[in-house]
Chains A and B, each alone.
Chain A
């Protein structure tokens, strides 16, 4: 379904974000990317919908190699859920979800914000599935809580009926309880449709609980690829870099307590 053919990425400023990553993700797999910040998780995700182009190597989706010519048609098959939700704050919940189907509507319909019946129905059904109620439809997304916003974000991503869903740290700005709910929702929605999911996470426990397969990156290199059980057996030390502990800072202000005691006496 989704293949990375030894992709590498070197940014203009010289940072090597990814080097020689080779992956083959089959249809319907729920795949979690682990790794510290700057390990290359986001870069790998963005390569799937062409927000980042690999310096060397290629990405293959559904048997097609991603290139400049087919980028537009491939983007229509790749949904995305973002860390900061990336919804339009002053637009209503329903319009935000409908905007997920923008590539499929004419300019006129997009301009007057009146979508075909099938899309309107799909938006309502998705919002019901992600656990929102009809009274949320006309509300502005800025009035919602973080968890509700991510639910809207997931509904929007599924408007495309995507073959691949990319989730870029979808629960990084949510509390643990809501994070779990969102992960349950994401997995259930994807499993029901047979959507391939690539999800980057910062919480190994969530990864172990929800993933079919865990991929770990470290400094742009693939360091782990296996099942959650294998990761538990291997331990997390291989994935996360440990910084050298810094020496405690010395305090330039002299300690005043003895003098104070003296003065009081």
Chain B
């Protein structure tokens, strides 16, 4: 049997899309991971995770990681939803006019005290009247969450406002000269390079505990982000519409407004929604350093080992972020 066609000439050979260089780069990357991994105790991590998985399916006898996680889980669940307050601690308590769904309960606590006459330890039962609000704590957390959302909203609004002039001067084709370009580019990098948590720490020193420090810290960091992205989109926008407006002498600002902004609007909306989303998540964190919002509550409860309360806060944060995700996905779809 003859071959169907003669062999191809030499110059019609295909070569593989990778070369020895790629292979060497892969080996070098693996070596780097191996070296850094041993410094970071990565083998121990893998061993203990393996143990924990083995423990949970009944293969290994003991696993400190699994038992530790289980202990945390048990202390968080059931999450704390009700709020219990001693009646004697409430000022101007009106027994006839209780809050909605609230009830008064008697709590008995055993106390030990020393009888000074007999010098014996005696146990007694102390009765306390407490006000039980079945969803009281949830309400407190939701109010704190609302404050967190407000912080995120204001931070986003301020960052947009701040980043517009920054972006104008940081876009190489609109910046009036090299100096303004350099100045705004470097301030954008500076804003972006300082983490919110650090900015918040300093601003809490300046403005005191509360949401002002939080709003400013988030806004400054996000302005760095938005300024960079806005500027790059302005630079990359299609030149043709801008050219036609420049040709009739419309001026830079009007050209930007009519020739660039409509083009980049979908991206801008996407950036702003991302920043809002990010600010909500960061607003829950910066409360840890006292900059307002739900983080402050979280830190307080955590430090007092009220893990049930911590659980409620975490669930509320999780649901909020989930809802926000849905909201931003829908808004984006509508606007683009």
Contact with A along B252-286 (1 / 0, CB 8 A): 01110111001101100000000000000000000
- Complex interface: chain A residues within 8 A of B266 (CB): 90
CB within 8 Å for A107 and B262 given contacts A82-B244, A263-B2: no
Tally inter-chain residue pairs, CB-CB below 8 A: 90
Query: How many angstroms between the C-alpha atoms of A152 and B4 in the bound complex?
Result: 60
Query: Which residues of A sit under 8 angstroms from B247, Cβ to Cβ?
Result: 49, 51, 75, 78, 80
In the bound complex, do residue B248 and residue A80 qualify as a contact, i.e. CB atoms below 8 Å apart?
A: yes
Binds B, one of A10-18, A98-106, A176-184, A211-219: A98-106
Across-interface contacts of A100 in B (CB, < 8 A): 248
Residues from 230 to 255 in B contacting A, C-beta threshold 8 Å:
238, 240-241, 243-251, 253-255
Given the complex of chains A and B, what is the CA–CA distance between A76 and B245 in angstroms?
11
B248 touches A103 (CB 8 A): yes
Given contacts A51-B247, A102-B250, contact A252 B9 (CB under 8 A): yes
B6 at the interface (CB under 8 A from A): yes
Q: In whole angstroms, how far apart are the Cα atoms of A117 and B125 in the complex?
A: 86
Is A72 within 8 A of B5, CB to CB? Answer: no
- List, in ascending order, chain A residues with CB within 8 A of B9's CB: 252-254
**Which A-chain residue is minimally distant from B246 (CB atoms)?**
A51
Residues of B within 8 A of A80 (CB): 244, 247-248
Interface centre among A76, A79, A102 (most CB of B within 10 A): A102
- The answer for the CA separation of A30 and B166 in the assembled complex, in Å, is 46
Q: Which of B246, B254, B258 has the most CB atoms of chain A within a 10 A radius of its CB?
A: B258
Known: A51-B246, A86-B243. 4 other contacts (CB 8 A): A86-B244, A102-B251, A103-B250, A252-B9
Q: Can you offer 18 A-B residue contacts whose CB atoms are under 8 A?
A: A49-B248, A72-B249, A74-B249, A78-B247, A82-B240, A82-B243, A86-B244, A88-B259, A89-B238, A90-B262, A99-B259, A110-B257, A160-B248, A254-B6, A256-B5, A259-B2, A259-B5, A260-B5
Residues of B within 8 A of A (CB): 2, 4-6, 8-9, 11-12, 238, 240-241, 243-251, 253-255, 257-259, 262-263, 265-266
